[in-house]
Structures are given as structure tokens and as C-alpha cells.
Amino acid sequence: MNIANKRRITQFLALIISNLGFFRVLKTGFVCPFLYCYGCPFAAFGCPIGIIQNFIVYGRFPFFTVGSLGIYGIFFGRAFCGWACPFGALQDLLSRKGTERRIRTQRYWYIKYFSLFIVIALAWLFLDTVFCKFCPSGSLFAAIPFRILHPEIGVGAPFYIHMFTLALVVILALIISRFWCRYLCPLGAIAGTFNKLSLLTIQLDKDKCKKCVVCLEECPMGIIKPDGIGSSTDCILCGKCVEKCPEKALKFTFKAK
């Protein structure tokens, strides 16, 4: 089985596991390693960005959440973005259906860190989970299912804000692959900082590499240098480069510490 099919299966299983709350099999306070709204009627895990905002509102430090993200990051870096995140999977689907461009640039890579700062600042200033009110992942997995399950509740401005944000991100994802992940995801900003430290990485054999840049052309995150694969804060370890490399110069590996 090729990497692409393994990844699709993993993404599907992650979506199922995330919604086990529907069957009352699993409804926990654990932190999931990707952006998935706890407001979803079926959610089994808590969204780390939502939890961090709540702790800021109540003036406490989210030790458990930060610790969980640290453990995920040290072992897997940003791999959950590429292999498990349901909203990331949606963007993969959109990039195949749309007219997306493989924009090979990391020009504006820092915007996601600004996004993370804004999320924290707004929670502190307004003492509210402001980001959750327009999060596109929450729009898809919480706002829409909630309205379907509770049609008796009127649709107001918050719902329209959710839909506008979701529509905007969907349109941009049709044009630029993984637009949300590249430029705006605050959780991606956190996870990406662990890529240089994580045990799981993609290793480049420089002796085999012919600098054909097939790996870069396939990269959904626009990484611009072969030696940035695996270690770049933008790399989601999706494995497209590994699979497409004609020289087999790339491989998944666990670093020896």
C-alpha cells in the first residue's frame, strides 16, 4: 500500500475516533493533537486552541494542554497535521478538486505565528474564546452539525460568521493547497516549532539527491529547499515527497537521540 492510501485511511480513522462521542463510547477531556472543535455534538476530545483560550479567560496556565502538545510534538512534530487533522484532510480533497496552484514559496510563513498571538491576545482582552466564534474547523464540525440536530434553534449572526469564514477558507484552499495550514492555523504554529526536535522526521540522502525538485513540486506546503523537508516548521510530514522522489532519496525515520 502506498503512502497516499495509508494517509487517507489514517485521516478517515482519525475522523471516526474524533466523533466517538456520538456513540457515547468516548467522551473525554483529553487534548487532541489537531484542530477539532469540542463544540461538535459528537466530539470525543478537546481542541487545544479552545482549551488554551478558556484557561486564559479564567486566568490559569494550561499545564495539561501545553504538556500534551509538547509530548505530541517531541514524538511526531507536525505529522498530525498531515496524517490526522480532519480539516487538513478536507483541504487535501479540495486541492484535488480545485484549480490549486503548487505555490513554492514560504514567503509569509510567519503569519501563522501572528495568528497564534492574535488568538491569545483576543482571549486575554475580551475574556472570551473569540477565535472559536469564527474558526473554520469549528464551523464545519460544530456549527453545521449543531444546526442540523437542532433545527428549532434560530440561525443568527454567529452562524453566518462561521459560514462566511468557512466559505472563504474553502475558496482559498481551492486556489492554494493547504492555505489554512500554511498561513493561519494557530495550532500548526505551535506544532511546527517541534519539527526540528521531533523524533519522527523525513531524512534526505544528499548522495542520492539529483536536485530534480520533484519533491518540492509535490509539496502541498510550498517548502522551497530539499533540506527543509522534515525540519521546516511548515512540513506536515505528509510523505508526498517520499513517495514521488524518483531517486528514493527521502525516507521516514526516527532520529537517534
Task: Return the percentage of the chain with pLDDT > 70, whole number.
Answer: 91
- Run of H or E residues at 200: strand 200-204
Q: How far is CA 234 from CA 178, 221, 227, in A?
A: 11, 6, 13
Lowest mean pLDDT among 3-17, 18-32, 52-66: 18-32
Mean pLDDT of 81-89: 95
pLDDT, averaged across the chain: 87
Nearest-10 crossing angle of helices 86-97, 157-175: 50
Options 1.10.10.10, 3.30.590.20, 3.30.70.20, 3.10.20.30; CATH of 201-254: 3.30.70.20
Banded pLDDT at 25 (limits 50, 70, 90): low
- The more confidently predicted of residues 245 and 103 is 245
pLDDT at 95: 82
105 Cβ partners below 8 Å, 6+ apart? Answer: 222, 224
CATH 3.30.70.20: which residues of the chain? 201-254
Contact 74/194 with Cβ under 8 angstroms? yes
Cell of 105: 514559496
pLDDT at 26: 59
pLDDT at 49: 94
Mean pLDDT of 1-13: 93
Give pTM, 2 decimals: 0.88
Mean pLDDT of 89-99: 79
pLDDT tens digits along 46-79: 889 999 999 999 999 989 899 999 999 999 999 9
pLDDT at 52: 94
Banded pLDDT at 97 (limits 50, 70, 90): low
pLDDT at 101: 52
pLDDT at 30: 76
User: How do strand 200-204 and strand 250-254 relate by DSSP bridges?
Assistant: antiparallel
Banded pLDDT at 29 (limits 50, 70, 90): low
Cell of 126: 475580551
Residue 99 reports pLDDT greater than 70: no
Nearest C-alpha neighbor of 82 from the set 174, 191, 164, 186 = 191
The count of other CB atoms within 10 Å of the CB of residue 230 is 26
Mean pLDDT of 221-227: 77
Sign of CA dihedral 250, 255, 256, 257: positive
Mean pLDDT of 198-227: 87
